[in-house]
Structures are given as C-alpha cells and as structure tokens.
Copies of this chain bind each other. A is one copy, B any other.
Amino acid sequence: MSETLLSSRNLAFELYEVLDAEGLTQRERFAEHNRETFDAAIGTARSIAEKFFAPHNRKNDENEPRYENGQAILIPEVKPAVDAFLEAGFLNAARSFDAGGMQLPTLLSQACFAHFQSANAASTSYPFLTMGAANLIESFGTDEQKQRFLQPMIDGRFFGTMALTEPHAGSSLSDIRTRAEPASDGTYRLKGNKIFISGGDHPLSENIVHMVLAKLPDAPAGVKGISLFIVPKFLVNDDGSLGKRNDVLLAGLFHKMGWRGTTSTALNFGDNGECVGYLVGKAHHGLSYMFQMMNEARIGVGMGAVMLGYAGYLYSLEYARERPQGRVPDSKDPNTAPVAIIQHADVKRMLLTQKAYVEGSFDLGLYAARLFDDTTTLETEDQRKQAHELLDLLTPIVKSWPSEFCLKANELAIQILGGHGYTREYPVEQYYRDNRLNPIHEGTHGIQSLDLLGRKLAQNGGAGLKQLIRLIANTAERSQAHESLTALREPLEKLVARLQTVTIGLLMDLGQGKVNSSLANSALYLKVFGHTVIGWRWLEQAIRAEEGLAKGNAADVSFYKGKLQAARYFLTWEVPGCHHELAILEARDDVCLTMQDEWF
C-alpha cells in the first residue's frame, strides 16, 4: 500500500543519514533512547494518525464547528483522535521523564507530530496549541501556577490557547486594548475582546487555559507595556477541582475558507467585570514571553505547511501513476494505449517541483527541531547560545517558506488531478484551502520578512548570519568530493556571495537610519534568503544521497537518484532565478515604496 502521510524512507533518510538522530543519544538527556525507541515512537504516531486522524479529515471540513448555547460543538470523531494522541504520550513527547514525558529529542517529537499534521491539520491543532501554552507556563509561571494549570495540561485534562489578536490589532500588538486591573487578592480582572482565537472553545477537555496578552493600568505605550495572563475558562480550586465558570464568553465563531475543523473564536473577557486572570512572570514583559511560544509555534506552523504540501504531493503522485491519458509527443498514434500521465514532461515538472519544495522544507523543519535540541542539550553554554542564534535567524524562514511554497505545491497537486482535483470528491483541494491559512497566522508573511531583515539579521552582531554562511560554505566544500555535484554547488555559491553583499549593504543603510527604503522590498529579501537556505539544505541532501549511492544498496538506488534529481531541480531551476530579486534589492528600487494611495 502506498504511503499517504509522508514517505517513511525519506523520514529515515532525514533522521539517520542527514540529521544524525542517533548522535543525539550520546547526550545525557537522551541516553535512554536509541534508534529502536525512536522508530517505535514514529510507528505509533503513524498508526494513530492513520487510524484516528486521517479518516475524519474531510468530515472536519464538511462539518465545521457549530455555535450552540454559548459553546462550540465539534464532530464526535475529534475527541477519540485527540484522546488517542494523549494516551500515547505525544503531548509530552519532548518533556522529561520526571515530568511525565517521553524525554525524546524535539527532532523526534516533531517527526512524530508531522504524521498528525499531514493526516488532519485541524484536529491536530488542539494538542498543538496546548503544548505551546503549557511550555509558556513551564518557562515563566510560578510553582503555584504550574501546579494549578500546567500539571492538568500535561495530564491532558486542560487544553490551552494563545489569545493575542484583537479586532483592531492583528499584526500590531502594541495597539491591543485588553486591560487588566489588579484586584485586592493579587489576581487581576481582565476586560477586552479577542478574535481569531484558535481552539478558544471546544468540548475536548475539562478546562481551557487562555494565555492572554493585556495591558496593566500603568503600562507604558507600545510593546513594552504588554503583560501576559493566565485566564482559565473555569476557575480552579486549591484542591485542583474546577470552580465556577470564569467571565469569558464565546461571542461567536469565524467561518474560514479552510482548516475548518479548528474552532476560530471571538472571545469576550470580562463582559460582567468578573474575568479573573493571573499575571505570568513580570509585568510588562508579556510580549517577550509570548515570543518564546511564538517561535516554537512558528516552527510548528512551518512544519504544518510542509505536511499539507507532503500530503498533496503523495496523493497527486499516486494519481499520476494510475491515471492513463494522452501520449508522449513523439508517439502520438491514437491506436496505441494512453500512457500514465506521470510520463508527460509537464506532469513530471509539477511532481518534481512539489518534491523539491516539500522535501526541501521538510528537511529544514527537522533541522530546526534538531537545532532546538542543541539549544538545550549541547555541552557548553557557548555552544547552546550559538544554536540559539542560528535558530532565531532561521525561524522566519522555517515559518514562511513552506507557507508560500508548499501552498504552491498544493496548487500543483490540484493541477495534476485536473477537473477532479477541483472537486471535493478528492482531498487535494482541501489541502490547498487549509494551507492558505499558513502565510497569515502566527505572524504574516510580511511580518516574517520584517522580522528577518529588520531584526534577526543584525542580532548579536550578525552572529547567526555568520554561522549560517560558515555552514553553507562547509556543505559546499564537502560537496566537492562528488564531481556530479559541481553543477549544483556553483549556483548556490554564486547566490550566497551576492546575498552577503546585498545584506551588508542593507544593514548599513538600516544603520544609517534609511529604514523605509531598506525595508521596502523585504518580501523579496525573504524569498531570496529562503531559497538560499533551502538550496543549502538540498545540497546537503545531495551529498548524503551520493554517499548513500556509494554504499551500493540496490534497493536504495531509485530513492537516491530521486534526491539528486530534486536537488538538481531546485539548485539549477529555482536558485539562479533569485538574482533577479537581488538586482532589485541592490538597486533599492522604490516602485512600490513611492506608489501613492490616490494613484491606485
């Protein structure tokens, strides 16, 4: 039977040939693990995803959550799926044994999670949001908060959300208006309205813990005046039992183009003046805490985009192999039998493009997960700091690149299926609709481009960037052991060299206060930077493929040849195209910046 969620062979390639997952077991934290425990976790994830998540993916879409009596009602299949996920321990896969987890590397927990993201993006969102909220309390909450709210989340009894956006403030968090007044008992009373809160209501857990951004009365203006609060749907008594309903009202549900199975809610906090919240960490530090969660969330969103791309790629690949139609151009005789459409060059192009986008960003997402492990388990503080710097730099790419290019992959999957792909009788149109959310939530594409160019590049004196350049140079150097990779290496080296020059120029301009002109074309910069990173990852994959081929295992020859072809596609068809955007960036072209409202 063909695989529908991801290619196991490709996952094994990533884990054991590219990213050295086994090397992690040398570290103390992961010493109890080995390839067998890793593979067992993956096998369980795959089997639960196939059995409980994939079967109701379409039903989720066709029966979006309903608003009834102030509550969100889901289809009955979601809870058993999420319960199976919790039961198997995936919510706490990366958490320590002590805290009830599996103490897996994040690389592995992400690899497991990817199966669920591919099977059913919507149902997977509920545990995903809970993990983020739990990590936030774990990092910044008091012991008492951990006891009261975190432990029940770890136990799977409470779920979580992330409540940032307000009707008038999406990307611009500095303008949020939700207020928090200190009460005499040390808690706070919140008042405000939040929108687009995913998982803001559902019947999957006893309680929902909202992580809410709000402003204290003495807050300074802007982002430095934002604080973070725990606001539970039900108050929690000292003995851990549920208390009375908190003053949090489900005001309504949003109806989305895709990703319909996840409730998207409007929540009113404190309509009756009785919304109790608990300050997390220090006053006015909320945004920096939230950013930790957002950075993890962004990697998760990026991987979610990859997996929707992956699901569409595998489906359209299977379809192209089975669907006979037409003949190849040099044998048009209508008396001959039609060929499978995978024989048509343009269909191969659409499949190869999908493969390059999906497997390229799958590699990057897992690479980022492994970097996350490095930030916590490398030996010296300096090493950990370095890993952090690189991960920080790559995060906007990990989030945005698949959001753009795996959406493009889904567009191609539809095209391969033709008219059928456009109907709801086939799954690819849903992947496309679901994936369209990813360039919007967790920081829009535009926000990611400003984060990269306006913030991340210059952080710590450009330490992350320098590290990345060194890593790319290292890959390029190692690739020279393989004659066949010259044609793949050269375009990457050429691009990196020019990107460096452009980057230095832009940073100098920024340093001199020319912010508007430097940032005006940040979208182009984001694309080129992303293609550079993905190009690097493809060259790395190509080296591993050559090494694999050299081992001479006949069963693997086709797999490695496919890797080399996809690497060649990306490095020779996509990477050189970026010089066009670099030329525009070099010229500081101002056609967009100087466009005037009244000229439209």
Interface, chain A (partner B; CB < 8 A): 165, 168-172, 174-175, 195-196, 221-223, 254-258, 264, 317, 321, 324-330, 333-335, 338, 340, 342-349, 351-352, 355, 411, 414-415, 418-419, 421-425, 429, 432-433, 436-437, 439-441, 444-446, 449-450, 454, 513, 515-516, 519-523, 558-559, 561-562, 565, 568-569, 572-573, 576-577, 579-581, 583-584, 589, 591-600
Contact = CB atoms under 8 A, between A and B. Distances in A.
A327 B519 CA distance: 13
A172 B325 contact: yes
Given A168-B324, A355-B600, A423 B257 contact: yes
Contact of A594 (B414, B421, B424, B565): B565
Given A324-B168, A436-B414, A351 B591 contact: no
Contact of A175 (B175, B338, B433, B579): B338
A577 to B, nearest CB: 4
Given A324-B168, A325-B172, A440 B415 contact: yes
A105 B258 CA distance: 42
Given A254-B419, A346-B450, 20 more contacts: A168-B324, A172-B325, A196-B419, A222-B333, A254-B423, A257-B423, A330-B513, A346-B446, A346-B449, A347-B446, A348-B595, A351-B600, A352-B592, A355-B600, A419-B441, A429-B436, A433-B433, A572-B584, A576-B580, A580-B580
B569 A325 contact: no
A558 B598 contact: yes
A344 B523 CA distance: 12
Nearest to A329: B515
A591 B568 contact: yes
A449 B415 CA distance: 14
B561 A257 contact: no
Given A175-B334, A423-B255, A599 B436 contact: no
Given A196-B419, A330-B516, A335 B221 contact: yes
Given A351-B600, A519-B329, A444 B423 contact: no
Contacts of A441: 419
Contacts of A195: 419
Nearest to A444: B418
A454 to B, nearest CB: 7
A334 B594 contact: no
B597 A573 contact: no
Contacts of A348: 592-593, 595
8 contacts: A222-B334, A255-B425, A346-B522, A349-B523, A352-B600, A558-B599, A561-B596, A577-B581
Nearest to A345: B520
A587 to B, nearest CB: 9
Contact of A516 (B258, B345, B591, B600): B345
Contacts of A577: 577, 580-581
A261 to B, nearest CB: 14
B418 A345 contact: no
A527 B583 CA distance: 21
Nearest to A526: B346
Nearest to A437: B422
B515 A330 contact: yes
A561 to B, nearest CB: 5
Nearest to A515: B329
